[in-house]
Structure formats: structure tokens, C-alpha cells
Amino acid sequence: VGFEPEPRSSHPYLLVDFRLLHYRPGRAGPVSARGVRRLLSFQRYRHPSRSACRQPNRSQLCVLDQDYAGQAKCMLERAGSWSFDIFLFDRLTNGNSLVTLTAHLFNHYGLIELFQLDMVKLHRFLVMIQEDYRRQNPYHNAVHAADVTQAMYCYLQEPKLVSSLTSFDILLGLLAAATHDLDHPGVNQPFLVKTQHYLAALYQNSSVLENHHWRSAVGLLRQSGLLDHLPAEDRQSLERRLGSLILATDINRQNEYLSQFRSHLDRGDLNLENSAHRHLILQMALKCADICNPCRPWELSKQWSERVTQEFFQQGDVEKKHNLEVSPFCDSQSNTIADIQTGFMSYVVEPLFSEWARFSNTQLSRAMLRHLDLNKAHWTDEMDPKTHPQGNQGGPAQDPWRDQLYLSDGC
């Protein structure tokens, strides 16, 4: 397909010690050599686990989630609920929410039988995906990937999609959701660019992280051999389309995809029998799933808001320590969770979900917009009245989210 996937091998990182991102004052004991290599290499060295390498008992693999009893099994039965608590599910599955949920959905849709997937290879593939998400990241970790996969499942159940998507579309959508942030380093693209990281040079400062996620996902697909039995043409098509979906999650290209989607809705010419139009809908569904946290019930949304802000502030602390310009939203002294979230909801989330509701005007879409309004009101109430006087909460032109979208749209 014209590119080499990124293998699980070592790449040196010389400028910033990423142990600083996950350092906790007062933690006893030195960092192990393995831990240092893992942090400095973005996990690109091979680290197979016993669970991934051992030969599983085939009698236990008929349905990968059948051994999970009690509450975890009950939760899987309502995996299509928008109030699904992924944090609770991750605890009940002992940190294996991504493997368990994705395996359950593959079985639910009959993808294992339809595409004749080897159960051992599938299990290894899912374990490798989960392991290549960095647990130290407060936000971009395997729980986030599981949450996005669950949201994608909710969207795949929408009437318009149920009646039009093929099994190949469903397979592609679930794979993209599970791998869309694979091996995320916990810092953003501007950080990689200004520290001259090799990934920024490799992808020429364009959709750096999204390209890395895509190539890493293809690398795991090929390493696991999960699809080796399919014709080469089908494998190459899936890899290309997987990249197209993951690249669509680049926040800097938000206006590009939103304008295209809005134009189709204005003209009323979306034809879901057309494979290109179905692919656009999958792109928009993945974009919605990726940033759906503000549209969840408050108890879940608040936890995600705190986690992503913590990750922002960790990056800002590293930038300050190394005398780098602090990235927008990353300065804990000048930003608050409420400031960041209200701008994000107003300029990124609301325009996207409003257009999605035009396309799929269902109970789920209305519930998401209702939660968005309530959550935005919660954060607005917590904003500092000294910095955001009543009636002028920063002003549209002063909001960094608005500025970022406009600048990226003009590049």
C-alpha cells in the first residue's frame, strides 16, 4: 500500500526525558531500566506479555467474554447504553476493558465467523492493542479507547446505519475505534514539533500523531497475522480505509470534515448505498465517538474532563522545566478545567454534534445534545467571575479553541 508500518522496535528520544510526565513526588525507588526504555521509546520496542504469548486453551476461546461473570457480564448485555460506565467496567474486568468489550462486539456482530478470524490470533491482537496504550497517560489510554469503541457501537446501532452498513464497514469502524490513539505519548503535536521529535520529521509535521496511530495499528495487524488469510487486495483496502478513518480524528482538520459533511446535509444528497458516502459517515461517527465525553452524563463527563486537563497540565510542566513555550490549555496557572471545557464544548463539540443530529435525528442524538447543554452549564457555573464577567465569558475572539480551529483551517 505504499508505506511501511511502524514495528514494535526501539527508537531513541534524546531531547526530553518523558519520565518527567509521570513522576510523582515522594515515590520511592529508582525507575527501572525497562521503564526508562519504555518511556523514551514511545513503547516502540517489543514487550510481549505472558498473556499475549502463551497458547490459550481453545475451549475457553469460543466466546472471549464468556468467563466474565456477575456484574461485568451484565454490563456487556447493555453495552449499547449511552450511560455505560466504562470506568466501572474497566475495574470489573481488571483493567481489560478494551480487550473484553472489543471481543464481545466482534462476537455480537458475527465478525469472527464471517471473516473466518482465528480466535487465538484475535486474542493476541487485542492484547497487543491494549498493551500499546500507555497506562501512565491520564486520558489517552486503553480506557479511552474502550470508551470510544463503546460510543462507536452506540452509533452503529442508529437506524440509518443499521440499514446501510456492511459487515466490512462494521469491522472497519470497530478496528478504527479501538486503535485510533494507539501508542499515544501523552503530549500533542506542537510539543513533538518544537522538540524536533523523529515522528514530526517522519510525517512532516502533518497529522503526526494520527499517522503514528494508523501505522502502529497496521503494524500490529500484520504482526498478529489476524487477516493473513484474506486476499491481499482486501487487506490493503482495509489498511488504507483504516488510515482514512484514524486521520479524520485530527482536531486540526475539524473544519475540513465538518464543512464537507454539512454541505452534503444541505444538499440532501447523502446516499448510503454509495461506499464513499458510507465511509464519510464512519469518519464522522469516529470523530463524534472520539470527543463524545462532554455529551455523556455529568458523572462520566466530569471524570474525563479532569483526566484530559491533567494530561494537558503535565505537558505544560515539562515545557516550563525545559524553557519551552507553553502550549495552549497546558498552563495550570492560567487555565482551569472550566475554562478549557466551556471553550471546547462551544467551538469543537457543539458544531459537530449539531450536524450529526441533523443527519441522525434520534433519541440518542437528542440525549447527547441535552447532556452537552447541562454539562456546559455545570462548567460555566464554576468559571471564575473575575476573569469571566457575566455576559462576556472570554468573548469568541479570545477563546483559544476558536483561534486554533481558525488557524488550522487556514493552513
Q: Confirm if 143 and 102 have CB atoms less than 8 A apart.
A: no
Distance CA 152, CA 185 (A): 23
Block residue for cell numbers 471473516 = 115
Distance CA 68, CA 71 (A): 8
The three three-digit cell numbers of residue 270, written as one number: 447523502
| Residue 143 marked in a binding site | yes
Comparing C-alpha atoms, which of 235, 334, 251 is closest to residue 290? 251
Q: Is 71 helix (H, G, I), strand (E, B) or coil?
A: helix
Q: Which of 140, 184, 212, 213 is catalytic?
A: 140
The dihedral formed by the CA atoms of 269, 272, 275 and 279, expressed in degrees to the nearest 10 = 90
Q: Confirm if 301 and 371 have CB atoms less than 8 A apart.
A: yes
How far, in Å, are 86, 120, 177, 219, 295 from residue 301 at the CA level?
11, 35, 19, 32, 7
For 325, other C-beta atoms within 10 Å of its C-beta total 10
Q: Is 85 helix (H, G, I), strand (E, B) or coil?
A: coil
The three three-digit cell numbers of residue 40, written as one number: 523514551
Distance CA 172, CA 111 (A): 11
Give the type of residue at 296.
R
Biggest CA-to-CA distance, the chain: 64
| Residue 290 marked in a binding site | yes
Annotation marks residue 140 as catalytic: yes
Q: Confirm if 151 and 288 have CB atoms less than 8 A apart.
A: yes
Continuous H helices in 141-207 = 142-156, 159-162, 167-179, 189-194, 198-202
Q: Which residues contact 263 (CB under 8 A, 6 or more apart)?
A: none
| Residue 187 marked in a binding site | no
What is residue 348's DSSP assignment? I
Distance CA 324, CA 283 (A): 34
What is the Cβ-side half-sphere exposure of residue 342, based on CA atoms within 13 angstroms?
A: 21
Give the type of residue at 260.
Q
Q: Residues marked as binding for AMP?
A: 140-144, 181, 290, 341
Among all residues, which ones are annotated catalytic? Answer: 140
Q: Residues marked as binding for Zn(2+)?
A: 144, 180-181, 290
